[in-house]
């Protein structure tokens, strides 16, 4: 089965299409695609996506052509219409009581649909406003409420690591990031350092979680009591990268390696087996 071409539309939507015309495609090519309501322009992301990697419900259509000079000129006209549409939207919004802020306007390439992306603190009932917009622009209207993470992807910027946002560089899907992931990585002490400019937990907590879960299985838990050199001590801190465990007692603090800890556990198991072996066996009556 022929592989599919992965593209991203100007609305940030990912789509998968057949290259039925055997076009010589490369990543970053602008192409014209057949969509539900006409034609739209998109940028090629990947030219070889296997069918089996996709959900069975994924809609698959055809790439019509590589964007030519005429298409690029038309795209500039579309962008100018979006600027004008933004002004009209805000003027109409002033007459409404809706608490919303326009983020971006995206016209479908053939003009058969317009998408208004907006932000708001809560849910917004915009049904009457949609009808007013449809009457004004004489085309199909969609309003999409965005999240802080989606806005960060649209605007771009630099993260606390000094690099461009992960969601802009390479993340195709914005996965859910939970407090548990931060807890597993011992990062709950300073929430401001694990939150991105979008106000949500850093995306990198998600794709590093497997490393920390695997490491945590090898180490004792913080505050766990263990016996070391015949003395009861408490785990004060663990360092996954240096493979070290910081132990503390009333009169001392020591650092042991994960190898020391594993050796200690083996000795404990061996001693327990030895004690069980040396215990007198009960006779059966």
Strand order in the sheet with 225-228: 225-228, 231-239, 244-248, 253-257
Q: What is the pLDDT of residue 212?
A: 84
Indicate the helix (H) or strand (E) that contains 78.
helix 69-93
CA 27 to chain centroid: 22
CB atoms within 10 A of CB 168: 16
**Residue whose token pair is 């004004």:** 136
Q: What is the pLDDT of residue 109?
A: 93
Residues in the chain: 285
Give the up-direction half-sphere exposure of residue 144: CA atoms within 13 A in the CB hemisphere. 17
CA 6 to chain centroid: 18
Q: Is pLDDT larger for residue 81 or for residue 202?
A: 81
**pLDDT reading at 106 higher than 80:** yes
User: Pairing mode, if any, of strands 4-9 and 14-18?
Assistant: antiparallel
- Which tokens belong to 267? 């000795």
Rounded average pLDDT over 121-141: 89
Q: Is pLDDT larger for residue 281 or for residue 83?
A: 83
Domains of the chain: 4-67 (no CATH), 73-146 (3.30.300), 151-214 (no CATH), 225-278 (no CATH)
Lowest mean pLDDT segment, chosen from 20-24, 229-233, 255-259 = 229-233
Q: What is the pLDDT of residue 118?
A: 92
- Which tokens belong to 154? 């649209």
Q: What is the radius of gyration, based on Cα positions, of the chain?
A: 29
Rounded average pLDDT over 164-174: 76
Strand order in the sheet with 140-145: 101-107, 113-119, 140-145
Q: Is pLDDT larger for residue 217 or for residue 62?
A: 62
Rounded average pLDDT over 33-54: 87
Q: What is the pLDDT of residue 64?
A: 93
Q: What is the pLDDT of residue 271?
A: 62
**pLDDT reading at 1 higher than 80:** no
Residues 201, 188: Cα–Cα separation, whole Å: 11
Q: What is the pLDDT of residue 283?
A: 57
- Most confidently modeled of 3-7, 121-125, 145-149, 170-174? 3-7
Rounded average pLDDT over 187-199: 76
**pLDDT reading at 163 higher than 90:** no
- Which tokens belong to 10? 């100007």
Contacts of 69 (CB under 8 A, 6+ apart): none
Burial of residue 83 (CB within 10 Å: 0-12, 13-18, 19+) is exposed
% of the chain exceeding 90 in pLDDT:
29
Rounded average pLDDT over 147-161: 79
Rounded average pLDDT over 274-283: 58
pTM recorded for the entire structure: 0.67
Q: Residue 49's closest CA among 66, 25, 67, 31?
A: 25
**pLDDT reading at 153 higher than 80:** no
**pLDDT reading at 41 higher than 90:** yes
Residues 156, 165: Cα–Cα separation, whole Å: 7
């Amino acid at each position: 089965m022929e592989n599919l071409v992965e593209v991203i539309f100007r609305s940030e939507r990912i789509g998968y299409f057949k290259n039925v015309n055997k076009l010589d495609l490369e990543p970053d090519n602008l192409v014209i695609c057949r969509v539900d309501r006409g034609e739209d322009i998109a940028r090629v992301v990947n030219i070889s996506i296997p069918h089996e990697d996709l959900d069975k419900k994924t809609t698959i259509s055809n790439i019509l052509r590589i964007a030519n000079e005429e298409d690029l000129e038309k795209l500039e006209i579309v962008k100018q219409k979006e600027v004008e549409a933004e002004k009209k939207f805000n003027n109409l919004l002033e007459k409404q009581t809706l608490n919303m802020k326009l983020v971006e306007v995206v016209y479908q390439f053939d003009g058969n649909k317009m998408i208004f992306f907006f932000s708001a603190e809560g849910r917004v009932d915009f049904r009457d406003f949609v009808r007013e917009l449809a009457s004004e622009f004489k085309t199909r209207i969609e309003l999409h409420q965005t999240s802080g993470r989606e806005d960060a992807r649209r605007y771009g910027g630099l993260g606390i690591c000094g690099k461009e946002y992960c969601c802009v560089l390479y993340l195709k899907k914005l996965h859910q990031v939970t407090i548990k992931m931060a807890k597993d990585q011992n990062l709950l002490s300073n929430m401001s350092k694990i939150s991105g400019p979008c106000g949500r937990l850093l995306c990198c907590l998600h794709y590093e979680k497997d490393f920390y879960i695997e490491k945590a299985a090898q180490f004792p838990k913080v505050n766990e009591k263990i016996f070391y050199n015949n003395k009861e001590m408490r785990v004060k801190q663990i360092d996954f990268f240096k493979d070290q465990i910081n132990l503390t007692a009333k009169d001392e603090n020591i650092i042991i390696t994960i190898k020391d800890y594993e050796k200690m556990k083996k000795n404990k198991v061996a001693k327990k087996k030895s004690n069980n072996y040396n215990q007198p066996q009960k006779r059966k009556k």
